[in-house]
Every structure is written in C-alpha cells, then in structure tokens.
C-alpha cells in the first residue's frame, strides 16, 4: 500500500504548519497508522528556511506532549504539487498563493485545513507570530480539531 502524502503550508513554516505537522504525526502514531503516511510542512515564503519552529510553538506543543524540535522550515517547492496527495493551507492568503502557482491538474489537492474542523466557524488558522502565548494555544486547539477531522475524512 502506498503512503498518503500530506503537506501542511503556512507563510514562514515556523508556527502554524509545523504545529500541524507535529499534531498530525502524533495523531497517526497514537492510532498506530504512522507507516501509512508521509507528513511534511512548508512555507510559501523563504523567511525562515532551516530554522526550528518558533520557541512559543514548541513550548505549546511540548506542554501537550508533542515534540516539534525535529522540524526545520523549508520553502514550498513547485515539485510539491506533484509529490503530495493533500496540500493543506493554514489560511486563505496562503491558499490563494498555492492555487495561483498550481498547475490545473493538481488544484484539487489544495484545501483549507480548517475546512476539516467540525464545529469551527473560522476558515483561517490565525498567524500567532506577532501575538502572545494565547495565540499559540488557540492555533494548537484549531489544529487539533482539524487534524481529527482530516484524519477521519481520509481513513473512512
């Protein structure tokens, strides 16, 4: 069986998308299905290439039993359109950037991540970079909800 390849995308790949990568990786490990997935994250901009996730994102994740320290920021590559089965944008701005750059034959792979968060009215995972710790907590909550919903949507 081939792996399901998932890419989470935000702007700089140091807050939201690595949080989603870490949370989803943790989820599939808990469910015993980690070997069925290839999970990665990237940014639409190259501001932080090679850096670890923001220390506040790492702290929030660590407090909830998830390690993000292995993740390094990278910029989204054109080849990602072909490589990944699901490209999940953290917000509508990054969604628009991806759709604009994407060849028509791959556009159906791109989705807003929060479209998979049942019971949530938000469409965008807000960027917590310039805010306080509460912003990172809120992002984590949103990502957990969307991860559960997305997992259910691809495994049922």
Catalytic residue list: 10, 16, 127
Query: Phi, psi (5° rounding) for residue 68?
Result: -110, 0
The CB density around residue 117, as the number of other CB atoms within 10 Å, is 22
Length of the chain: 156
- Rounded Cα distance between 98 and 114, Å, is 16
Burial 24-51 (b: 16+ CB within 10 A, else e): bbbbbeeeeeeeebebbbbbbeeebeee
């Amino acid at each position: 069986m081939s792996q399901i390849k998932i890419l989470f995308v935000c702007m700089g790949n140091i807050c939201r998308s690595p949080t989603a990568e870490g949370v989803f990786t943790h989820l599939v490990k808990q469910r015993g299905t980690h070997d069925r997935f290839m999970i990665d994250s990237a940014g639409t901009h190259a501001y932080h290439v090679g850096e670890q996730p923001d220390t506040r994102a790492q702290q929030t994740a660590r407090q909830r039993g998830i390690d993000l320290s292995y993740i390094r920021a990278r910029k989204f590559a054109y080849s990602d359109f072909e490589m990944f089965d699901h490209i999940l944008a953290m917000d509508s701005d990054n969604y628009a950037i991806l759709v604009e750059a994407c060849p028509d034959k791959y556009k159906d792979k791109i989705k807003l991540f929060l479209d998979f968060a049942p019971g949530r009215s938000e469409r965008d995972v807000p960027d917590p970079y310039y805010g306080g710790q509460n912003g990172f907590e809120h992002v984590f909550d949103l990502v957990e909800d969307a991860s559960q919903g997305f997992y259910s949507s691809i495994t049922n």
